[in-house]
Amino acid sequence: MSGGSYSQRMKPAVFFDRDDTLMECNSLPAPPPPAKQGDVIDPKLVRVLPGVAAGLESLAQAGFALVVVSNQGVVARGGGTCEQVEAVNDRLREQILLEGGPVLAGMYYCPFHPQGRVPEFACEHEWRKPAPGMLLAAERELGIDLSRSWLVGDATRDIEAGVNAGLAPERCLLIGPEAPFADAGAAASWILSQSGATRTPSTTMSMVAASPDGLSDPGVRATVVATAHGVAERAGVRLLKAAISPGMLEVTIEGGRLACLGLLTEVRRITNHWSGTRGGGPLWAGEEG
Ligand SMILES: [Mg+2]
């Protein structure tokens, strides 16, 4: 529940979810009950995810305040205490610094949960995402200009919290293996590219589905996006964004048209083959544009 220690008037922020956005979470061994898989209450287990420290550092250099907003219902469930959550948060701050990252402007967490069993915390609360309370507290306490701010998280409720705080939906970035942004580092690069804060050129190209709703199956869309992330990683291309709709895939990379075309061609080859092995037709129309 602690806020930040410094305040500067009307600074844009990037709000980050904590678990599986900045640090490992669901891949860790389950803690003893009533804590559950995904609860991190032991500071010794804090591992900053790859690309996080560098991404945060570039955002800080571009003038963004970095603010963590994290649901910690584990406290209400009796699986950990506020002191344990704060010890994990402190370890995360420290680890980010050790890896060359910046000082975080604020770290907010919500210990409440309506189904909790610790009476003090067993209730719904305006800070619990998808409610926007933590972002609004940061706005007041840290002097954040929400209209120029962004949010990055790995869950729908993170995105909803940003939108509920009044952030533009296109400034609330979902990350994950099947999401438009692979990880927090990719989201940071995207934010910098959209803020004019980077000199690295980016290229956006799209590929049209073989039929107008040829990608209507969410499982197919998820496979295509995961393939794009995988191809980019193997090729050493920085994929900033992979946006997919029932009618097309649009990718933005750091770099020029040739690399972008190469990425799309490979995604087309792999996913058309994959579709064929499932008895489907080609997913993609003739030309990239
Ligand atoms: Mg998360």
Q: For residue 9, name the pLDDT band (cuts at 50, 70, 90).
A: low
Q: For residue 289, name the pLDDT band (cuts at 50, 70, 90).
A: very low
Q: For residue 8, name the pLDDT band (cuts at 50, 70, 90).
A: very low
Average pLDDT over residues 244-258: 94
Please tell me the distance between residue 155's alpha carbon and the centre of ligand 1 in angstroms. Answer: 6
Average pLDDT over residues 199-221: 91
Separation CA 276–CA 283 (nearest Å): 9
- 104-133: pLDDT as tens digits: 999 999 999 999 999 999 999 999 999 999
Q: Give which of 239, 287, 8 is closest to 143, Cα–Cα.
A: 8
pTM: 0.87
Average pLDDT over residues 153-162: 98
**Tell me, what DSSP letter sits at residue 97?**
H
Please tell me the distance between residue 197's alpha carbon and the centre of ligand 1 in angstroms. Answer: 27
Please tell me the distance between residue 183's alpha carbon and the centre of ligand 1 in angstroms. Answer: 12
Q: 212 or 83: whose pLDDT is higher?
A: 83
What is the model's pLDDT at position 214? 86
Q: Active-site positions?
A: 17, 19
Protein residues placing their CB within 5 Å of the ion ligand 1: 17, 19-20, 154
Please tell me the distance between residue 245's alpha carbon and the centre of ligand 1 in angstroms. Answer: 24
- 40-61: pLDDT as tens digits: 999 999 999 999 999 999 999 9
Domains in the chain with CATH codes: 13-194 (3.40.50.1000), 202-279 (3.30.70.1290)
Q: For residue 32, name the pLDDT band (cuts at 50, 70, 90).
A: confident
Q: Give which of 15, 44, 20 is closest to 152, Cα–Cα.
A: 15
Q: Give percent above pLDDT 90 in the chain.
A: 87
Reply yes or no on whether the pLDDT at 198 is more than 80. Answer: no
Average pLDDT over residues 143-157: 97
Query: b/e for 55-87, b at 16 or more Cβ within 10 A?
Result: bbbbbbebebbbbbbbbbbbbbbebbeeebbbb
What is the model's pLDDT at position 6? 47
Distance (Å) of CA 9 to CA 119, 127, 146, 171, 191:
37, 23, 12, 21, 21
| Edge-to-edge strand ranges of the sheet holding 172-174 | 106-110, 65-71, 13-16, 150-153, 172-174
Give the type of residue at 37.
Answer: Q
Residues 6+ apart with CB under 8 A from 268: 207, 283, 284, 288
Separation CA 181–CA 256 (nearest Å): 19
Q: Which two tokens stand for residue 256?
A: 């020029």
What is the model's pLDDT at position 10? 86
